[in-house]
Amino acid sequence: MTPLSPFLQVYPYEALIVTTRGRNRLPKDVDRARLERHLSPEEFYQVFGMTMTEFDRLALWKRNELKKQARLF
């Protein structure tokens, strides 16, 4: 698995999902363009069914589709 950057705080999936009414109130240190990077490696695998390394190898359009399906876009 890809090591997490020491500068990214890990948050539970429920704290990062985007609701249909707009973004929930995210902590200030969250990178809104890369919400998936704030998941733990284990939770990332549960949400996406692959490791971060496998996810990074996908085409950008495919990553964006998966993020939309996971409500992290």
Annotate the chain with DSSP letters as a single string: -PPPPTTSPP--HHHHPEETTEE----TT--GGGGGGGS-HHHHHHHHSS-HHHHHHS-HHHHHHHHHHTT--
pLDDT of residue 20: 61
Look up the pTM and report it: 0.79
pLDDT of residue 3: 52
pLDDT of residue 24: 63
pLDDT of residue 29: 86
In which residue ranges of the chain is pLDDT below 50?
Answer: 1-2
